[in-house]
Amino acid sequence: MNFDYLNPVDNSILSFIEMQSDRTFGQCIDIYSDKSSQPDLINKKIAIIGVLDGRGSVGNNGTGTNLNEIRKELYKLYPGNWPVNVVDLGDIVEGHTIKDTYFALGESLEYLIKNKIIPIIIGGGQDLTYANYRAYDKLEQTVNIVAVDNKFDLGSIEDELASNSYLSKVVMNEPNNLFNFCNLGYQTYFNSQDELDLLDSLFFETHRLGELVNDIKIVEPILRDADIVSVDISSIKNSYAPANKNAGPNGLSGAEICAISRYAGISDKVSSFGIFEYNPIFDDKNQTAQLISQMIWYFIEGYNYRAHDYPFGLKDQYKKFIVPIEDQILHFYKSHKSGRWWMEIDISNNNKFKRHALIPCTYQDYISASNQDIPERWIRTLKKLV
């Protein structure tokens, strides 16, 4: 890995760690603390990487600065009863141009993902999701993105890449490796009907804030199918996370965003996790820094409870259900290990989309199919594959 792109964690943070109990998180992880000594990445499962560049953030000037407060809040937490194979790689500093920052971040993420180390990205605008997406280019696979955001951030293809237009670049720019995009927690009055219609025409998924508040468990099968999870702090209520100039009175609660973070960690497919648009200028009593640290904690805990039961393994580990419906035959699989459900689409020998042939679902989807109602996620996925 090229550590030339990274600045070590600040000495003040190292001094802060020394004052904490020897059982706290900061005492249990490896930290890039000296340019002359690079951390050992062997056996590491998760890497924290900061980005000190907020030039792509729109209407939130001040983001991409002072990530030390997040680290302090994280380092004084106590890990759970699980191994802490985590390394803090410090921060990518602001490049000469923002494209330099995208390049440095993309190169760093590509190395980590290739070596099966999950990056947790903090700092900067949500435009960094595009650099995260481009890091998958050389992996020769299609990618699913889940964005937790109150807006779709489509913009237009003519706009410069920014936090409010990154999605149009993901959709339109080559190479196009995007298979599915899903927005969690959008607020209708922040998004035009034209944008909703466009996402629907692309067979992408959108879930309103009210759906999540009514039942947060609906996000689990969605996150189980994600590669990239991108969280915009503005998706959280201002009263829970004030460190964002674009945050409003409505949004997710602290408990709900932590549940989403844990579901993302549990997902066997999620290979990068980003928390963007943190603006310390507005962070009263470090409340947002505390919440982000707890989101990271829950993601790491979720990772350590991964079931590794994605049903391309041995068939005797799953119970198969066959449901004839209209002119289709739907195959459902239930894991003996975790009790989770999948539904299958027959794609014959199309290896390009093999990893998307099994769609995470719920028991209720199976019940609906049994009642001759084809699940919406099955239909959307089929339309992408044909």
DSSP assignments along 43-82, one per residue: T--EEEEEEE--TT-SS-TTTT--THHHHHHHHTSPP-SS
Cβ neighbours, 10 Å, residue 20: 16
Strands (DSSP E) contained in the chain are 6-7, 30-31, 46-52, 86-93, 118-122, 143-148, 178-186, 205-208, 228-232, 272-276, 318-325, 328-335, 341-344, 358-361
Structure confidence at residue 210 (pLDDT): 97
Instruction: Please choose, from the candidates 333, 330, 329, the residue with its C-alpha nearest in 3D space to the C-alpha of residue 342.
Output: 333
CA distance linking residue 199 with residue 187, whole number of Å: 15
Structure confidence at residue 313 (pLDDT): 58
In the chain, CATH 3.40.800.10 sits at 3-304
Place of tokens 């996790």: 273
- Whole-number percent of the chain with pLDDT over 90: 85
Would you state the structure tokens that stand for residue 3, as one six-digit string? 């550590």
**b/e burial code for range 111-127 (CB count within 10 A of at least 16 → b):** bbbeeebbbbbbbbbbb
Per-10-residue mean pLDDT, the chain, length 386: 93 95 94 91 96 96 95 97 95 96 97 97 97 93 96 91 96 94 97 96 96 97 97 98 95 98 97 98 96 98 91 72 90 91 78 76 94 92 84
pTM of the entire structure?
Answer: 0.95
Residue 276: phi and psi, rounded to 5, are -120, 170
Structure confidence at residue 349 (pLDDT): 57
CA angle, corner 35, sides to 32 and 38, nearest 5?
A: 50
Residue 360: strand pairing partners: 342
**Can you identify the CATH homologous superfamily of domain 3-304?**
Ureohydrolase domain (3.40.800.10)
Sign of CA dihedral 198, 136, 103, 294: positive
Instruction: Please choose, from the candidates 331, 333, 344, 330, the residue with its C-alpha nearest in 3D space to the C-alpha of residue 309.
Output: 333
CA distance linking residue 264 with residue 258, whole number of Å: 10
Q: Name residues whose C-beta falls within 8 Å of residue 305's C-beta, 6 or more positions apart in sequence.
A: 82, 265, 266
